[in-house]
Chain A
Amino acid sequence: MAEIVLDKVTKRYPDGALAVSDVDIEIADGEFLILVGPSGCGKSTTLNMIAGLEDITDGELRIDGQRVNERAPKDRDIAMVFQSYALYPHMSVRENMAFPLRLAKVDNQTVNQKVDEAARILDLTQHLDRKPANLSGGQRQRVAMGRAIVRDPKAFLMDEPLSNLDAKLRVQMRTSVSKLQKRLGTTTVYVTHDQTEAMTLGDRVVVMRGGHVQQIGSPQFLYEQPANLFVAGFIGSPSMNFLPATLENGGLSTPLGAFPLTDRIRLLVEGANAPREVIMGLRPEHFEDAALVDGQSTTFEATVDVLESMGSDKFAYFTVEGETATSAELEELAADAGSADLTDSGAQIVTRLSAASAAKQGTPLDVWFDADKVQLFDPADGRNLTYSG
């Protein structure tokens, strides 16, 4: 168990490319920290620097207060789980899990005891004598976890450990990874590009973009108080809706219509020195079928393009005529989601309505939204103008 501190850690490759820039993270003992971001954001490089698999160009990495920049991976007492699992194909499951202990010259009896214990926790006991090639994806993943936990290391590093599993198994393993970490209480750094994993697993989440940390905080906090447009768009599924808007005489004029700002938001916006042209963000759950809400001050009418009934909720998709919100962050998010080339006329809005809604595909609907949940962003630098954290 250990506390890991990244102090202005920077990674610059010999060709001058800056992979990670001035990352400051303090990971408390026993904490489950998630590094999340689109591919190429530097999250894996950061993890590899903690592991010692990549050199740190600048800054300091401390484990339990000691500088470890120059220590070889084997001297850092950290275990790592790889996306590819990296199981030794020529060894049985037992030998795979025992490998770190054998290298540490632990006596036979202790090795067997620890491997059996780990196998029991991970439900691998009946597979101990098989080779990795004969295991299913989920079993291999568990062996990789087993190899990490037998050593009782100071920390676990996990590099997208679930992304090679199919969707159902991934959800299942997500729960067991979380349980295992709680049970062992070992400091864990977990890299993923999947925001659902980030939200469900971590005590705290670090959102990265282009080698820079965007925001650090608990999943709920990041969801409610994103520091900028990138975090707002990255966290949450379905993601936040963005529309261009203009601030004028205490109100907001948007493609959904003009409405006054609530007092809370007006105060925040005044304090943030906001520009006139802004981007408005609203999460899908802050919309509702107007027929089901009392005191409908902020409503608009639109035709339901697509309706997805999930049983507990209904997701209704609308197209809002007019301009779409544009900014570098939004383009990057769209590119990451693979929807960059899906050009529609107007902006697409996703709303989550309660199951009681009478919305029908292809028919117009009065939709209400919660004006106090509106978040406003500066299109130039993406900062959240309504941030109150």
Chain B
Amino acid sequence: MTRTLDRPVARRAERKGLSEGKKAERKLGWMLCAPAALVMLAVTGYPIVYSVWLSLQRYDLRFPDQRQFIGIDNYVTVLTNSYWWMAFGVTTLITVISVAIELVLGMALAIVMHRTLVMRGLVRTVALIPYGIVTVVAAFSWRYAWTQDTGYLADLFAPGAALLTERVPALGIIILAEVWKTVPFMALLLMAGLALVPDDLLKAASMDGASAWQRFVKVTVPVMKPAILVALLFRTLDAFRVFDNIFVLTNGAQQTGSVSMQTYNNLIKGLNLGIGSTMSVLIFLAVALIAFLFIKVFGTAAPGGADERKR
């Protein structure tokens, strides 16, 4: 946009003096950005600020009269509560395990899609189907599959078992549902990364004496590392906010609830805006922290960055 406008602006600048032209250009830049910036502020900035504001108050819709500014008391309440930390632990567990499995399976699927020579389009479309299904719908189908006696998978391990009512199997099923749904997304991101690895590099590695596995570990993975990190970042941020699958599969029973479930229970079911908002803000901070750590990792691993330090 600015590129196409550069020339007339520059020509005007020659006539009227440089500073004026630059000023006009800057003003134009602001005006072009303004609508997007305003929309961003309205739909993301305002809710964030408002929930921070709510989190600093005692505000329970059942007792609206007792609304009061109480500083960080809500945070103390939440952070000293064992249910919160239980949910936090469950969330972390689901995030780490599901993202790890997704990475491995996603990579395998990406390689298959990358190498497919015939009907490439069809293979890719088929692989993406799980990602195209609405999470809640997929979650219900998993719930029916595992429902005691009637589900087609219910008797897989022991006859008559009610796996969704036991903690560890239920968590396993939640992770399975998450993995099943998001592997295609992971695979798609990783496939873009695979395309970054030049064929010549792999040929050179095989001439240098590398086996297929060595080529993958020593050449493919390092070269596509930026793509892997981006995929991991996206999926980790997503996985940390896991809600739909748990809501449908167990509704948080048997201590399988995530932090998002806790927040929902307090905010929507419990009508406690203060505590609920506090939890939202904490989730926001956790996600921000994850993103920050990842970007820190990027900073040190990005090609160029490392070289700059070495020189």
Binding site for B on A (CB under 8 A): 51-53, 72-74, 78-80, 82-84, 86, 88-90, 92, 99-100, 103-104, 129-131, 133-134, 147, 151
Contact B204 A74 (CB under 8 A): no
Known contacts A82-B200, A86-B198, A88-B201; is-contact A130 B307 (Cβ 8 Å): yes
Closest residue of chain A to B210 (Cβ to Cβ) is: A103
Residues of B within 8 A of A133 (CB): 303-304, 307
A86 touches B204 (CB 8 A): yes
Contacts A86-B203, A100-B208 given; 10 further ones with Cβ under 8 A?
Answer: A74-B208, A83-B200, A86-B204, A88-B204, A89-B223, A90-B303, A99-B218, A103-B210, A131-B306, A133-B303
Give chain A residues whose Cβ lies under 8 Å from the Cβ of B222. 88, 90
What residues on A are CB-neighbors of B219 within 8 Å?
A: 88
The interface residues of chain B, by DSSP majority, are classed as helix
Q: Name B310's closest neighbour in chain A (CB-CB).
A: A129
Q: Which of A74, A90, A129, A134 contacts B209 (CB 8 A)?
A: A74
Looking across the interface, which residue of chain B has its beta carbon closest to that of A104? B209
Give B268-311 interface residues, CB cut-off 8 Å to A: 303-304, 306-307, 310-311
CA–CA, A100 to B304, complex, Å?
24
**A130 vs B222: C-alpha distance in the bound complex, in angstroms?**
17
Partner pick for B214 among A52, A88, A103, CB 8 A cutoff? A103
Q: Which of A78, A83, A131, A134 contacts B207 (CB 8 A)?
A: A78
User: Judging by beta carbons under 8 Å apart, are A84 and B210 in contact?
Assistant: no
Decide if B114 is an interface residue (CB 8 Å cutoff). no
- 8 Å CB contact of A73 from B198, B207, B225: B207
Q: Could you say which residues of chain B place their CB within 8 Å of the CB of A147?
A: 204, 208
Q: Which single member of B203, B210, B214, B307 contacts A134 (CB below 8 Å)?
A: B307
Q: Which residues of chain A are near B218, meaning CB under 8 Å?
A: 88, 99
A86 with B200: in contact, given A72-B206, A73-B206, A133-B304 (CB under 8 Å)?
A: yes
Q: List 16 A-B contacts (CB under 8 A).
A: A53-B206, A72-B206, A74-B207, A74-B209, A74-B211, A79-B207, A80-B207, A86-B200, A86-B203, A88-B218, A88-B222, A89-B223, A90-B223, A100-B209, A104-B209, A133-B304
Q: Are A103 and B209 touching (Cβ within 8 A)?
A: yes
Binding site for A on B (CB under 8 A): 198, 200-201, 203-211, 214, 218-219, 222-223, 225, 303-304, 306-307, 310-311
Do A74 and B206 touch (CB < 8 A)?
Answer: yes
**Chain B, residue nearest A53 (CB):** B203
CB of A304 to closest CB in B, whole Å: 47
How far is it, in angstroms, between the C-alpha of A86 and the C-alpha of B198 when the chains are bound?
8
Q: What distance in Å separates the Cβ of A101 from its nearest Cβ neighbour in chain B?
A: 9
Q: Nearest Cβ distance between residue B203 and chain A, in whole angstroms?
A: 5
- Give the distance in Å from the alpha carbon of A73 to the alpha carbon of B304 in the complex: 32
Instruction: Assess whether B200 is in contact with A84, with CB atoms less than 8 Å apart.
Output: yes
Please name the residue on chain B nearest to A100 by beta carbon. Answer: B208
Interfacial chain B residues near A131, Cβ < 8 Å:
303, 306-307, 310
Query: Known: A88-B219, A90-B303, A130-B311. Contact between A74 and B210, CB under 8 A?
Result: yes
CA gap between A147 and B201 in the complex, in Å: 13
Q: In angstroms, how far is the closest chain B Cβ from the Cβ of A140?
A: 13
**Shortest CB distance B180–A (Å):** 33
A103 touches B208 (CB 8 A): yes
Measured in the bound complex, the distance between the Cα atoms of B211 and A89 in whole Å is 19
Q: In the complex, A80→B225 CA distance in Å?
A: 26
**Closest partner residue, chain B, to A76 (CB atom):** B207
Q: For the complex, what is the distance from the CA of A53 to the CA of B225, rounded to whole Å? A: 26
Q: Which chain B residues lie closer than 8 Å to A84 at the CB level? A: 198, 200
Tell me the smallest distance from the CB of A211 to a CB of chain B, in Å.
21
Q: Which residues of A contact B207 (CB under 8 A)?
A: 51, 53, 73-74, 78-80
Residue of A nearest to B206 (CB): A73
> Chain A residues with Cβ under 8 A from B307's Cβ?
130-131, 133-134
CB neighbours (8 Å) of B210 from chain A are 74, 103
Shortest Cβ distance from B272 into chain A, in angstroms?
A: 51
A103 and B207 alpha carbons, distance in the complex (Å): 11
CB distance from A86 to the nearest CB of B (A): 4
Residues of A within 8 A of B211 (CB): 74
Distance in angstroms from B311 CB to nearest chain A CB is 7
Residues of B within 8 A of A88 (CB): 201, 204-205, 218-219, 222-223
| A291 to B188 alpha-carbon distance, docked (Å) | 75
5 tightest CB-CB pairs across the interface, nearest first? A86-B204, A100-B208, A86-B200, A90-B222, A74-B209
Q: Give chain B residues whose Cβ lies under 8 Å from the Cβ of A100.
A: 208-209
Residue ID in chain A nearest B221 by CB atoms: A90
